[in-house]
């Protein structure tokens, strides 16, 4: 995701990740790759690992800390977390593209639930394999 965002000219990011060991690993990996490509992390906001009413405040803190300088959001989230956070991001920072890992997709298509994920740019193993095969 870091490479893709940088290639699209998005060089300033906000990271939203759960307050968990997994969240720290994913945020750290994104941060390292993004900064390694010349990107700058404007804000790094953790949110409760379990669904929480504090999600709105967490999103507002992250967006507010960026002071309008962010060009993207990296969201580390499970499907249930992403479905709660994405609408809040859309309301607070509608112009910012949201990138995520494939963890936001449950593996089962459910249009009624997946609508909340509309517009999120995320990796997908098959797509990466196809890109790899085209290069070789």
pLDDT tens digits for range 66-115: 989 999 999 999 988 999 999 999 999 999 999 998 888 767 777 777 77
Domain ranges of the chain: 2-135
Q: Is the pLDDT of residue 36 over 70?
A: yes
17 has which bridge partners? Answer: 46
Residues 89-100, buried b or exposed e (16+ Cβ, 10 A)? bbeebeebebbb
Considering the entire predicted model, what is its pTM?
A: 0.84
* Mean pLDDT of the residues in the chain: 86
pLDDT confidence bin for 42, thresholds 50/70/90 = very high
Cβ pair 29, 123 in contact under 8 A = no
Fold type of domain 2-135: Rossmann fold (3.40.50)
pLDDT at 128: 46
Model confidence pLDDT, tens digit, residues 44-65: 999 999 877 899 999 999 999 9
């Amino acid at each position: 995701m870091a490479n893709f965002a940088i290639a699209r000219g998005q060089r300033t990011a906000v990271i939203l990740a759960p307050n968990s060991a997994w969240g720290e690993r994913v945020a750290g990996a994104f941060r390292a790759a993004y900064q390694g490509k010349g990107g700058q992390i404007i804000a790094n906001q953790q949110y409760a690992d379990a669904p929480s009413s504090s999600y709105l405040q967490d999103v507002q803190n992250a967006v507010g800390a960026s002071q309008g300088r962010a060009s993207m959001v990296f969201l580390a989230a499970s499907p249930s977390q992403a479905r709660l956070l994405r609408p809040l991001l859309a309301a607070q920072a509608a112009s910012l593209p949201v990138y995520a890992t494939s963890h936001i997709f449950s593996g089962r298509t459910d249009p009624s639930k997946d609508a909340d994920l509309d517009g999120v740019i995320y990796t997908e193993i098959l797509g990466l394999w196809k890109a790899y095969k085209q290069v070789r």
